[in-house]
Amino acid sequence: MEIGQKLVIKKDKLNSWVERLMKIGDVVAPVKENDEFFFKPIRDIKKYTMNHDIPYIPPKDLIFPQSENIFEYTRNNKGLQIKPLFEGKKQIVLGIRSCDVEAAAYVDHFFRDTFEDPYYFNKRKNTIFISLGCNHAFENCFCICCDAGPFDPKGYDLQMIDLGDQYLMEIGSREGAEVISKDQELFSLSKDEDIKKSEEIKKNARDTFKEPIAYMSYAIRHITTDKVPKETWDELGERCVDCGGCSFVCPLCTCFTVEDIAINQNSGKRCRCWDSCNYSGFTREVSGHNPREDKGERFKRRFFHKLSYQYIEKYLRHQCVGCGRCITACPAMVDMPRVVKRLRD
């Protein structure tokens, strides 16, 4: 098995493969509950599906959870003892969409920059992504405007493409090759017509997107050169309600805060949880001075981080993959595509 090799597996064999994967670790796949999709470890093989929308909770949550404990501490007569808490079961994420895989590649790069984050990588090294390309766009998608899909994202271990009665499986990494090599008999080598069909599907998928809804390059140019008038940022910032939702649902946002929770005088833990630069308390110093008190400034800052060339240089891509979650999460309708459109007007 080599990187780049393409195999096929018949759809009715998929469950057998999943059952074998469940012996290696948790197979985290989409399940439908309460009319929406969640990525959860499969407990009942009949309960997962490959016909799913983008799950509302971004998969960054599987590696960088909404809140996690960093360490526990106790004070006793021997002094202070600190015990770091690492959790990391092997997990195979099945059916993750291309935009989310592309986002995960960015988040990996971010947490490796300058200092490596041990908690993130402890989970990441135990995680394998088997992505499922999108044959058609979903309601809020605009990944084609962001260079992030609907196929061939950066960093997949295996990529599945739905060919109708079977899946085309492309190997993208050594870990992906390893996973397949144990179950080779369920797969067969792909034929020319399979590859041709997948090419056609890729082409047709692009046509299912609505009118391009975000012109990123214009926004990037103007934000980088600081040419957007302050009025515009004030108008957008005025609508923003500081809920933080956009940062939490975005698969590329990584800001967090750290708090100590003292359970009693002598023991407790330190934990970190997601944070959002939209909050006014994000930069407020202990003295009460806040360099970003003005909402227009905070709003401008968030989009500078997302779309400026200075950041693209650092992380090799701009920080939006067009998943469309912020469109659902924003109460004031100042999500990414609307802001980009507004900057253009």
Partner 1 sequence: MENIYLPKIAVIKDIFEETYDTKTFRLSLKNKEEQSKFSFKSGQFLEVGVIGVGEAPIGLSSNPNEKDYFEITVRRVGSVTNALHKLSPGDEMSVRGPYGNGFPLNEVKGKNILIVAGGIGLPPLRSLFEPMFDIRNEFKDILILYGARTPADLVYKDKLKKWENMKDLRMLLSVDVGDKSWKGNVGVVTTLFPKTKIHIENTVSFVCGPPIMIKFVILELLKMGFSEENIISTLERYMKCGVGKCGHCAIGHKYICVDGPVFSYKQIKSFPEKE
Partner 2 sequence: MDTIATICPFCGCGSGTYLRINDDEVVGAYPILNHPINKGKLCVRGWWSNQCLKSPLRLKSPMIRKGESLKEVEWDEALDFCSSKLLEIRKSSGGHSLGVIGSPSLTNEDAFVLMKFARTILKTNTVDGSYRFSSSATISLLNQSLGLWTNGIASFDNLEKANAVIVIGGNIFQEFPDVVGARILKASDNGAKIILIDPLREKPQRFVNIHLKPRPPALISLINAMSNYIIENGLSKFEAGKEYIKKIKGFAMEFPGIPTGAIEEATKIYAQSNNSIIVYCSDELIDPNLIRSLINLAILSEHINGPEQGLIPISRSPNLQGVCDMGLVPDLLSGYQDIDKEEAKAPFEKHWGVKLPLDKGLTVHEALDPDQKVKGLLIAGDDLLGKLPSPELIKTLKQMDFIAVFDAFLTDTGNLAHVVFPIPTPGERDGTFTNLEGRVQSLGKIGDSKTGKPLWSILSQLSDKMKHPMKYASEQAIFEEIKALTPLYSQVSLNEKAGMFLPRKKSKPKLFVVDETPVNEPPRELPFSLAVKNTLNFWSRNTIVKASPILKREYLEERTETKINPDDSKSLGLRPGDKLKITSKDGEVVASVGLDNSVVEGTVVFHFHFVDSISSLLGKGKVDPQTKGIYYKDTFVRVGKA
CA 234, distance to chain mean position in Å, is 29
Interface positions with partner 1 (CB under 8 A)? 70-71, 73, 79-80, 82, 84, 110-111, 113-119, 121, 226, 254-260, 262, 268, 270, 272, 275, 277, 282-287, 291-292, 297, 301, 304-305, 308, 310-311, 314
Question: In angstroms, what is the minimal distance from the CB of 288 to partner 2?
Answer: 8
Provide the CB-side half-sphere exposure for 12 (13 A, CA). 0
286 binds partner 2 (CB under 8 A): no
275 binds partner 2 (CB under 8 A): yes
Cα gap 59→1, rounded to integer Å? 27
Question: In angstroms, what is the minimal distance from the CB of 71 to partner 1?
Answer: 6
Tell me the CA end-to-end span of the chain in Å, nearest whole number.
51
Q: In this chain, which of 261, 286, 287, 289 binds partner 2, going by CB under 8 A?
A: 261
149 binds partner 2 (CB under 8 A): no
| Binding-site partner at residue 73 among partner 1, partner 2, none, CB < 5 to 8 Å by type | partner 1
Question: In angstroms, what is the minimal distance from the CB of 257 to partner 1?
Answer: 6
Looking at residues 119 to 138 of the shown chain, list those that interact with partner 2 (rule: CB under 8 A). none
Q: In this chain, which of 13, 239, 270, 341 binds partner 2, going by CB under 8 A?
A: 239
| Binding-site partner at residue 36 among partner 2, partner 1, none, CB < 5 to 8 Å by type | partner 2
Backbone angles phi, psi at 252, to 5 degrees: -110, -5
Task: Give the closest residue to 301 by CA, choosing from 226, 221, 217.
Answer: 226
Task: Give the closest residue to 129 by CA, choosing from 183, 65, 59.
Answer: 59
Question: In angstroms, what is the minimal distance from the CB of 108 to partner 1?
Answer: 13
Site string for partner 2, 60-99 (x = CB under 8 A): -----xxxx-------------------------------
Give the contacts of 269 (CB within 8 A, at least 6 positions apart).
69, 70, 71, 72, 73, 85, 260, 261, 263
Name the amino acid, one letter, at 302: R
Looking at residues 311 to 330 of the shown chain, list those that interact with partner 2 (rule: CB under 8 A). 328-330
- Count residues near partner 2 (CB under 8 A): 41
Q: Which two tokens stand for residue 304?
A: 């500078």
Q: In this chain, which of 110, 215, 279, 304 binds partner 2, going by CB under 8 A?
A: 279
Q: Is 96 exposed, middle or buried (0-12, 13-18, 19+ CB in 10 A)?
A: buried
* Strand-pair category, 158-162 with 127-132: parallel
